[in-house]
């Protein structure tokens, strides 16, 4: 009994693969009647809820507390930080009416919540004892995107978490950025198997209002990068106009230094889908999997009862071991069940038929390698727990290999153009720091953008700017991006 491939090769035709998996696995429905707004269906919501859970767990473990601010922001508050308005004013939705009456002051749907939260921070923060203040909220934000939208990757409503922290000093705030990096490493890399580049954006590419912007980027099968999270050091750019002050030990009023951190949950879900998936469907690492183990009975007439009894016993034992397990005792055929649960990416399948009954074994199918193995009943729980680790490792290594193989260094302009044209992926190069060069590169390579220098590793340029030949200031990474 084997399942047939239902999707094309994602490396050869990514767009078709992606549209195929979105439709077949019923992840989202793009036919909702408002442009840029999609419907999240159960198969993606289960995964999204898992990702929220993991991220929130790590945020809470580092002292962040949950909160929830209104979806609407008063215009007066939005207008307080000049750079921030410039960056967002073209893409905010305005609520102007209620019933048949015009609102006295129009309010906007949050595109991000700095201007919602910081007026309250000004009320809550009084003394150094109130710092650090570390709050986060999960939920949707709204941006009137004019670029082409793509399910889960770019839309006018997207799901994220935003953590807003206020610290006493620049030093503490920059440490926060490092903590944010550690959290991303734990969640994205360790738990979800997604390797990423951590890049400091060029000044012309910063978050509106930030002093420094760092971005976490993953590489998709079509060799374009996707920004899955950002963290910003805001300095006192917001605490000054929003009048947030604290009294230090000596009674001097000071402005706290702020950071904000935004993991994009829809985009992380899309990354799990695209980076790990294959021609049969999704492949979920254990942490992202709403169902970690699916049990499929293979009943023959004479053994239906005993097969089901064994399945139920296994289910009980595995639940007890802390696993998320489902016994599929529906009327579908085993073949239909195999197809469905492979498509949905359940990492481990157990098959139990009369043979396994007699042998005292279980047939274990591992979704990532699609290998089948017989395991003795007594060893099953241990085997599955270690299999969870193995699957994660395999997925992560595969993704790392792809990232490494598709990162190239360009020594010259000619090389840059050649790699961009023939290989694609991420291009590493010496860079002068001028926006003009970045603009030319984008124009002449058909879309490759300067994404920034690495934050986690110090890299010194070993030659002049690859584009203009002038003195290089840093090594940057250049790629097409979603």
Chain residues binding a copy of itself by CB under 8 A are: 29, 31-34, 37-42, 45-46, 48-49, 65-74, 76-77, 89-100, 106-107, 109, 116, 119-120, 123-124, 135, 139-140, 142, 144, 157, 159
Q: Which is nearer to a copy of itself, 32 or 204 (CB)?
A: 32
State in angstroms the smallest separation of the CB of 372 from a copy of itself: 30
> Which helix or strand (DSSP H or E) is residue 47 part of?
helix 42-61
CB 196 within 8 A of CB 240: no
Q: What is d(CA 196, CA 311) in angstroms, rounded to the nearest whole number?
A: 40
Q: Which is nearer to a copy of itself, 77 or 409 (CB)?
A: 77
Q: Which is nearer to a copy of itself, 105 or 371 (CB)?
A: 105
Q: What is d(CA 296, CA 226) in angstroms, rounded to the nearest whole number?
A: 36
State in angstroms the smallest separation of the CB of 245 from a copy of itself: 17
State in angstroms the smallest separation of the CB of 292 from a copy of itself: 16
Paired tokens of 275: 């980076």
Q: Which is nearer to a copy of itself, 208 or 387 (CB)?
A: 208
How many residues in total does the chain contain? 482
Paired tokens of 40: 């999240």
Q: What is d(CA 90, CA 108) in angstroms, rounded to the nearest whole number?
A: 12
Tell which residue, 232, 236, 170, has the closest CA to residue 206. 232
- Name the H helices within 163-264: 170-184
* Secondary structure letter of residue 279 according to DSSP: T
Q: Which residues contact 142 (CB under 8 A, 6 or more apart)?
A: 71, 92, 93, 109, 110, 111, 156, 157
State in angstroms the smallest separation of the CB of 87 from a copy of itself: 12
State in angstroms the smallest separation of the CB of 47 from a copy of itself: 10
Q: Which is nearer to a copy of itself, 77 or 407 (CB)?
A: 77
* Secondary structure letter of residue 264 according to DSSP: B
Q: Which residues contact 460 (CB under 8 A, 6 or more apart)?
A: 475
Q: Which is nearer to a copy of itself, 127 or 252 (CB)?
A: 127
State in angstroms the smallest separation of the CB of 110 from a copy of itself: 11
Tell which residue, 431, 473, 471, 423, has the closest CA to residue 451. 431
* Secondary structure letter of residue 337 according to DSSP: H
Q: What is d(CA 6, CA 3) in angstroms, rounded to the nearest whole number?
A: 9
- Locate the DSSP E strands across 112-211: 133-142, 157-167, 197-200
Q: Which is nearer to a copy of itself, 254 or 326 (CB)?
A: 326
Q: Which is nearer to a copy of itself, 142 or 216 (CB)?
A: 142
CB 176 within 8 A of CB 135: no
Q: Which is nearer to a copy of itself, 68 or 300 (CB)?
A: 68
State in angstroms the smallest separation of the CB of 42 from a copy of itself: 4
State in angstroms the smallest separation of the CB of 369 from a copy of itself: 29
State in angstroms the smallest separation of the CB of 107 from a copy of itself: 6
Q: CB atoms < 10 A from the CB of 98, how many?
A: 9
State in angstroms the smallest separation of the CB of 181 from a copy of itself: 24
Paired tokens of 68: 């929830």
Q: Which is nearer to a copy of itself, 74 or 334 (CB)?
A: 74
């Amino acid at each position: 009994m084997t399942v047939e491939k239902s999707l094309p090769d994602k490396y050869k035709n990514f767009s078709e693969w992606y549209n195929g998996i979105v439709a077949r696995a019923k992840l989202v429905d793009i036919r909702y009647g408002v442009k840029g707004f999609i419907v999240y269906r159960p198969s993606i919501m289960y995964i999204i809820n898992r990702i929220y859970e993991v991220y929130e767990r790590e945020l809470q473990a580092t002292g962040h507390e949950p909160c929830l601010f209104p979806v609407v922001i008063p215009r007066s508050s939005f207008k307080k930080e000049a750079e921030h308005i410039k960056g967002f004013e073209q893409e905010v939705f305005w609520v102007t009416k209620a019933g048949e009456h015009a609102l006295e002051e129009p309010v906007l749907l949050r595109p991000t919540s700095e201007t919602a939260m910081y007026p309250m921070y000004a009320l809550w923060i009084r003394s150094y004892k109130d710092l650090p203040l570390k709050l986060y909220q999960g939920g949707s934000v709204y941006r009137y995107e004019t670029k082409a939208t793509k399910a889960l990757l770019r839309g006018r409503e997207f799901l994220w978490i935003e953590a807003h922290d206020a610290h006493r000093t620049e030093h503490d705030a920059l440490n926060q950025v490092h903590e944010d990096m550690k959290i991303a490493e734990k969640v994205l890399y360790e738990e979800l198997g997604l390797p990423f580049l951590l890049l400091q954006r060029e000044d012309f590419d910063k978050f509106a209002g930030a002093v420094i912007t760092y971005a976490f980027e993953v590489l998709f099968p079509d060799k374009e990068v996707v920004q899955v999270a950002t963290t910003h050091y805001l300095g006192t750019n917001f605490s000054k106009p929003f009048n947030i002050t604290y009294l230090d030990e000596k009674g001097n009023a000071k402005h706290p230094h702020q950071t904000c951190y935004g993991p994009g949950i829809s985009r992380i879900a899309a990354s799990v889908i695209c980076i790990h998936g294959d021609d049969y469907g999704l492949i979920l690492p254990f942490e992202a999997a709403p169902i970690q183990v699916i049990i499929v009975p293979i009943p023959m007439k004479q053994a239906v009862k005993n097969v089901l009894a064994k399945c139920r016993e296994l289910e009980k034992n595995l639940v007890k071991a802390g696993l998320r397990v489902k016994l599929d005792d529906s009327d579908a055929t085993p073949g239909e069940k195999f197809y469905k649960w492979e498509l949905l990416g359940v990492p481990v399948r157990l098959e139990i038929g009369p043979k396994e009954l007699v042998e005292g074994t279980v047939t274990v199918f591992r979704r990532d390698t699609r290998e089948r193995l017989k395991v003795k009943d007594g060893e099953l729980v241990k085997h599955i727990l270690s299999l969870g680790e193995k699957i994660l490792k395999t997925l992560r290594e595969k993704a790392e290999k792809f990232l490494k193989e598709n990162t190239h260094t360009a020594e010259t302009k000619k090389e840059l153009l050649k790699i961009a044209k023939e290989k694609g992926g991420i291009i590493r190069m010496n860079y002068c720091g001028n926006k003009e060069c970045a603009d030319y590169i984008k124009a002449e390579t058909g879309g490759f953008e300067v994404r920034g220098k690495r934050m986690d590793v110090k890299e010194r340029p070993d030659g002049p700017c690859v584009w203009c030949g002038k003195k290089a200031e840093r090594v940057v990474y250049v790629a097409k991006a979603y």
